[in-house]
Structure 1
C-alpha cells in the first residue's frame, strides 16, 4: 500500500465526489484506453522515507501524489477539482489497508489545460500523504 492507495480510498469514499466522478473512473496510475469522462488519475510524484537512527519494524513515509482531473468542459473540471480537494483535505487517520497513521493534506495545484483533438479539459491537484509502513 502507498499514498496513491490512501488517496484513492479517501476519494472513492466521498459521496459528493462520486456523484461527479463514478468510483470506477478514479484510477491508480494511467487511465485505461477509451476511458469515459469524467475521470481522475492518481500518480506518485515523489516519495521520501523518514529514516531514523535506530529504525524498527516500520518507517514513516512522505509521498506527493498528483490527481489529474479529466472532464468534458472547463466548469466541470473546476467543480471536480474543488470536490476532490474538499474530499481529501486534512484527512487524519483514514482507514487504508496495509498502512497506518495516514494523513492527507492538499499541496499545490498545477495548470489547467486541454487536449483539443479529444476535447478533454484537464487540471492537476497535488496532495501530500504521510503514513507508516512495514519495512
Structure 2
C-alpha cells in the first residue's frame, strides 16, 4: 500500500463525503470522460523513502498526495474540499498492514476551470507511514 492507496481507502469509506461524492467517483490517476460530478482525483506527487544504513522490516515513507475536486459549481467545489480536509487532516492510525500513518495538509492549489466548464481545485497532503520492506 502506498500514500495514494491510503488516501483513497480513507476517502472511499467516509460516510459524510460519500453522501456527496459516491465512492465510485473517487479515482486514482485519471477521471474518465463524462464522469458524473462531483468527483475526486487522487494522484501521487512525490515519494521519499528513508534510507537507513541497515535495511529493516519496515521502511518509513513520506508521500505527497494531491486530491483534486471536480465539481459543477464553485460552492460545490468548496463544500467537497471541506469534506476531504475533514476526513484526512490530522488522521493518525494503521490501515491494511501499514502502520504509523500520519496525514497533514500540505498546500491548496489554485481554483481552475476544468473540462466541460467544471470547477476544480486540489488539496495536497503529506502522508507518512511505515510499510513492509
Matching residue of 1:123: 121
For structure 1, the 5+ residue unaligned runs are none
Measured in 1, the distance between the counterparts of 2:103 and 2:130 equals: 13
Matching residue of 2:102: 103
Q: 1:18-57 maps to which residues of 2 (within 5 A)?
A: 18-57=18-57
Offset of 1:34 from its aligned partner? Answer: 2.1
**Where does the alignment leave 5 or more consecutive residues of structure 2 unmatched?**
none
Task: Tell me the distance in 1 between the aligned counterparts of 2:104 and 2:70.
Answer: 21
Which residue is 1:66 aligned to?
Answer: 66
Count of aligned positions: 133
Contact 1:100 1:132 in 2 (8 A): yes
3-state SS in 2 of match to 1:36: coil
RMSD: 1.3
Q: CA deviation at 1:57?
A: 2.0
**1:90 — aligned with what?**
90
Q: Partners in 1 of 2:87 and 2:17 — Cα distance?
A: 7
Q: Which runs of 4+ in 1 moved over 2 A?
A: none
Partner SS state of residue 37, structure 1 = coil
